[in-house]
């Protein structure tokens, strides 16, 4: 950890203990805005992947009860997004709509949209110079809280090079006792895409809350997608099959943040990577999230 950032964090921790910070309903400790620095950024430069206007760079990012530490988290997220310069970011665990709007408004050249349904919601941020939304958010399976405690949201986008695609942002049921609920969600998602989006460029991304590599393949809750390899592919499979140092949820460790694509995009997929911001700067986990973002890159020409 770099000494400068460590010092800042220690000062903030001391300020918390003195001023008795407020807590939300989930017992996430928050620092009042008037007690924090006016701006903050992490040193993540060596973890950034180079992007291009000729590629479509899509990110899934669980931002853990956003914002963990109010303005500090908002500023850190703003600087990460500016440095990353991806095209679209699908967010999970937005805890406060006003903070999402504050982040969106701080991002020059970006727009976004938010779907309010629970205490940890879903949203999209997208770079306006390269991405155009086609219509608004379409929530799916809003009446099935067993399979989807948080309804998936779907949105259509168009890249400046004219490729059009649909993103389905999901946050499936957590933890081992949710395995059958995740299996049901996987079945319903596949049925929806098969029946309604058979000829579309589709990317399903988010916090799947489960592995896509199992010791016993029959236990895999996403077996229906994996078995239909002619039509679906987990772009994140090489990460899941690789070393745990590259997984998206290092505290477990596990790789549960996935990007799934339909066959219309097989030939366009160039790479998939986990952005290990916590390795570049230890403060990432304390200030932003315990999940690492995952990015997939597609050609657009």
Average pLDDT for residues 39-63, to the nearest whole number?
A: 89
Instruction: Give me the helix-helix angle, 97-106 and 71-84, nearest 10°.
Output: 40
Residue 39: pLDDT band (50, 70, 90) is low
Q: What are phi and psi of 118, to 5 degrees?
A: -135, -160
Lowest mean per-residue pLDDT among 32-36, 71-75, 294-298: 32-36
CB-CB contact of 199 with 230 (8 Å)? no
pLDDT at 119: 82
Average pLDDT for residues 38-49, to the nearest whole number?
A: 81
Residue 52: pLDDT band (50, 70, 90) is confident
**pTM of the predicted model as reported, rounded to 2 decimal places:** 0.88
Mean pLDDT of the chain: 89
CB-CB contact of 285 with 292 (8 Å)? no
Quick one: 149 exposed, middle or buried, by C-beta within 10 A (0-12, 13-18, 19+)?
Answer: middle
Lowest mean per-residue pLDDT among 35-44, 103-112, 153-162, 271-280: 35-44
Go through the domains of the chain in sequence order and give each one's CATH number.
52-299 (3.60.10.10)
Residue 37: pLDDT band (50, 70, 90) is very low
pLDDT at 2: 40
Average pLDDT for residues 30-40, to the nearest whole number?
A: 49
Number of Cβ atoms within 10 Å of the Cβ of 188: 16
């Amino acid at each position: 950890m770099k000494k400068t950032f460590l010092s800042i964090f220690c000062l903030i921790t001391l300020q918390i203990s003195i001023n008795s910070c407020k807590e939300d309903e989930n017992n996430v400790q928050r620092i009042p805005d008037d007690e924090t620095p006016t701006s903050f950024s992490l040193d993540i430069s060596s973890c950034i992947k180079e992007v291009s206007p000729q590629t479509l760079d899509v990110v899934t990012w669980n931002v853990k009860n956003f914002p963990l530490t109010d303005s500090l988290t908002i500023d850190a997220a703003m600087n990460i997004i500016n440095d990353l310069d991806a095209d679209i970011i699908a967010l999970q665990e937005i805890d406060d709509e006003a903070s999402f709007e504050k982040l969106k408004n701080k991002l020059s050249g970006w727009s976004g949209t938010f779907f309010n349904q629970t205490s940890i919601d879903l949203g999209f941020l997208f770079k306006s110079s390269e991405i155009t939304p086609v219509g608004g958010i379409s929530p799916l399976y809003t009446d099935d809280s067993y399979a989807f405690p948080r309804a998936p949201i779907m949105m259509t986008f168009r890249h400046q090079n004219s490729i059009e695609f649909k993103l389905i942002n999901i946050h499936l049921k957590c933890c081992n006792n949710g395995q059958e609920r995740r299996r049901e969600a996987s079945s319903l998602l596949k049925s929806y895409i098969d029946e309604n989006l058979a000829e579309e460029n589709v990317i399903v991304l988010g916090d799947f809350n489960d592995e896509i590599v199992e010791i016993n393949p029959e236990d895999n809750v996403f077996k229906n997608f994996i078995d239909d390899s002619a039509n679906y592919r987990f772009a994140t499979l090489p990460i899941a099959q690789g070393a745990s140092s590259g997984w998206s949820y290092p505290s477990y460790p596990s790789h549960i943040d996935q990007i799934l694509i339909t066959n219309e995009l097989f030939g366009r997929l160039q790479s998939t990577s986990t952005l290990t911001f916590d390795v570049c700067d230890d403060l990432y986990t304390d200030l932003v999230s315990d999940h690492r973002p995952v990015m997939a890159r597609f050609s657009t020409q």
